[in-house]
């Protein structure tokens, strides 16, 4: 989340940024560094945490602990690594701009997009689901009729919760005949 703030993709308010910084620094100090390319492989983020942490009022000892943990995990000092990465990013951005300049102007300025518009159609979806459910019920009912199975309230119950043996036998015979076909 801090990286999205650093890159300007998310305009989090100052209180949210401070909370994120405090929790990240405290987590690294408490649990150590969980290295991944977006943490240990991102010295510009590490530098951002240090700079913004100071501005947000995070205690210096906490930031120093964060810095030491990161530098130990990465094997390099944060500031020179961040400067090197910034230089690389600037060269890369300049190369991309130069490449873009060779693309014909109409292609760069084109905003017309062709294709299909996706729309949400809740009513149509409900009708489709309802039709599918009804079809399943109909298939089940037809199977029960074919198999000679009576609905539960007609299944030969004698009123005392006991099953009528003759009715059950008829159902079993009719069901097994159907399965043998």
For residue 163, the SS3 value is strand
pLDDT of residue 123: 66
pLDDT tops 60 at residue 154: no
Q: What's the chain's average pLDDT? A: 78
Q: What is the pLDDT of residues 63-87, one digit of tens each?
A: 999 999 999 999 999 888 888 888 8
- Separation CA 127–CA 89 (nearest Å): 53
Predicted confidence (pLDDT) at residue 53 exceeds the cutoff of 90:
yes
Best CA proximity match to 70, nearest among 82, 59, 54: 82
Task: Report the pLDDT value the prediction gives residue 17, as an integer from 0 to 100.
Answer: 93
Per-residue confidence (pLDDT) for residue 173, from 0 to 100 = 43
Residue 44 or 172, more confident: 44
164-180: pLDDT as tens digits: 454 444 444 444 444 44
Alpha helices in 32-77 (DSSP H): 43-56, 60-74
Summarised one tens digit per residue, pLDDT across range 93-130 is 889 888 888 877 766 566 677 788 777 766 666 677 77
Q: Could you tell me what percent of the chain has a pLDDT over 70?
A: 75
Mean pLDDT for 124-145 is 76
Given this model, what pLDDT does residue 106 score?
65
In the chain, % of residues over pLDDT 90: 30
Give the pLDDT confidence score for residue 41 in this predicted structure: 85
What global pTM score does this model have? Answer: 0.53
Mean pLDDT of 56-60: 94
Angle at 91 between CA 85 and CA 97, to 5 degrees: 135
**pLDDT value of residue 15:** 94
The per-residue pLDDT for 142 is 78
């Amino acid at each position: 989340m801090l990286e999205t703030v650093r890159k300007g993709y998310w305009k989090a308010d100052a209180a949210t940024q401070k909370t994120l910084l405090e929790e990240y620094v405290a987590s690294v100090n408490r649990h150590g560094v969980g290295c991944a390319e977006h943490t240990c492989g991102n010295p510009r983020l590490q530098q951002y945490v240090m700079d913004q942490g100071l501005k947000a009022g995070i205690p210096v000892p906490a930031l120093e602990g964060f810095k030491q943990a990161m530098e130990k995990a990465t094997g390099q000092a944060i500031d020179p690594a961040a400067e090197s990465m910034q230089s690389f990013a600037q060269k890369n951005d300049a190369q991309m701009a130069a490449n873009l300049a060779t693309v014909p102007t109409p292609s760069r300025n084109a905003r017309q997009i062709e294709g299909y518009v996706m729309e949400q159609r809740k009513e149509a979806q409900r009708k489709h689901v309802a039709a599918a459910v009804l079809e399943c019920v109909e298939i089940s009912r037809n199977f029960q009729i074919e198999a000679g199975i009576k609905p539960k309230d007609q299944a030969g119950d004698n009123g005392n919760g006991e099953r009528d043996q003759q009715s059950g036998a008829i159902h079993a015979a009719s069901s097994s005949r159907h399965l043998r076909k």
